Amino acid sequence: MFGRFAPTPSSEFHIGNLRTAMVAWLAARSTGRGFLVRVEDLDLPRLSDAQRITEGQLTDLARIGMTWDGPVVHQRDRQDVYEQALARLGDRVYECFCSRKDVAEATRAPHGTTPVYPGTCRGLSSAEKDRLRAVRPPCLRVDAQAAHQSVTDLLSGPHTGVVDDFVVRRADGVFAYNFAVVVDDCAQGVDQVVRGDDLLDSSPRQAWLATLLGFTPPTYLHVPLVHSPDGSRLAKRDHALSLSRLRAAGISTAQVLSHLAASLNLAEEGDQVALADLVDRFDPALLPRDPWLVDPMEWADAA
């Protein structure tokens, strides 16, 4: 039984990423699970940048007191695993030649309903496929036929979504996030998934695919993201709120940890805490259900 944190090395962590990582670690450790770190680096153009950013991210995790089990796994090293899982899906997978524009038009849905890819390419004949292959390379989609899948989130409760024929391998050959993440979680024995709540809507698809591959879907806990007071999401560009920038501005890692713990209702504001001390206090029921409002200017002023 494992929990995990699965960062994308596209930029340095900001405090919101660290806060989600903390919840993932505490959720795993407080339930006696192992904890894995997996780098989601399937889709990054420059390997050297990804390596440098990963190093920084791992240093940040270690700095706040996080420990993980076994070596850090990189998705880019796991092509064979994805190929094998794809083969297991057999004829549930089909080639799709739709352009982005085709898909946007086909999935245009009335306001408030989930856009569903209608399976335009599901029934193409071999002759049509041969003709289209000469026009553009296909992506691969899994035939889900608008299944409905429910998941239960430890924080927000039951969540049901329509599973459309989502992409498992893109036209450029890169395995899609929704596919790789499920294959990895299943292969690594991950039965607890904690991440930002921007991915809540992906969880019905992922739970459905796990089941199709013969696994029990994991428990989910989606952590509300950090927002600026104007309601906008704290973006990756808000580097000012990374550990290294905050340290350079005179805010220690211990102070950051203390703020993060307080924001999760696991400590009083200003309490000195160590991450390991929070394991016994951790309870998903304590976690706030709303976004954490953080004013980057206030943090700058505190320095």
**Residues in contact with ligand GLU by the rule CB under 6 A:** 6-8, 40, 181, 195-196, 199
For the CB of residue 141, give the shortest distance to ligand GLU in the complex, in Å. 20
Say if residues 51 and 74 touch (Cβ distance below 8 Å): no
* CB contact burial 170-191 (16+ within 10 A = b; e otherwise): bbeeebbbbbbbbbbbbbbebb
Maximum separation of any 2 CA atoms in the chain, in Å: 69
- Both tokens of 68, joined, read 């993980």
For the CB of residue 216, give the shortest distance to ligand GLU in the complex, in Å. 17
Say if residues 207 and 217 touch (Cβ distance below 8 Å): yes
4 vs 29, which CB is nearer to ligand GLU?
4
180 vs 251, which CB is nearer to ligand GLU?
180
8 vs 242, which CB is nearer to ligand GLU?
8
For the CB of residue 199, give the shortest distance to ligand GLU in the complex, in Å. 6
For the CB of residue 71, give the shortest distance to ligand GLU in the complex, in Å. 18
Sign of CA dihedral 223, 227, 231, 235: negative
Q: Which residue is nearest to ligand GLU (CB)?
A: 195
Question: Sheet of 147-153: strands edge to edge?
Answer: 73-74, 34-39, 2-5, 190-196, 219-223, 147-153, 157-163
For the CB of residue 9, give the shortest distance to ligand GLU in the complex, in Å. 9
CA-based nearest residue to 243, from 8, 61, 51, 40:
61
98 vs 183, which CB is nearer to ligand GLU?
183
CA-based nearest residue to 161, from 127, 204, 218:
204
For the CB of residue 183, give the shortest distance to ligand GLU in the complex, in Å. 12
For the CB of residue 115, give the shortest distance to ligand GLU in the complex, in Å. 21
Q: How far is CA 302 from CA 144, 200, 238, 247, 296, in A?
A: 51, 33, 17, 12, 10
Q: CA angle, corner 72, sides to 70 and 74, nearest 5?
A: 140
138 vs 161, which CB is nearer to ligand GLU?
161
For the CB of residue 193, give the shortest distance to ligand GLU in the complex, in Å. 6
Q: What is the DSSP letter of 178?
A: H
163 vs 273, which CB is nearer to ligand GLU?
163
For the CB of residue 119, give the shortest distance to ligand GLU in the complex, in Å. 25
190 vs 251, which CB is nearer to ligand GLU?
190
Alpha helices in the chain (DSSP H): 15-29, 47-63, 79-89, 100-106, 126-133, 177-187, 203-212, 243-248, 253-263, 296-302
User: CA 73, CA 39: separation in Å to the nearest integer?
Assistant: 6
User: CA 246, CA 251: separation in Å to the nearest integer?
Assistant: 5
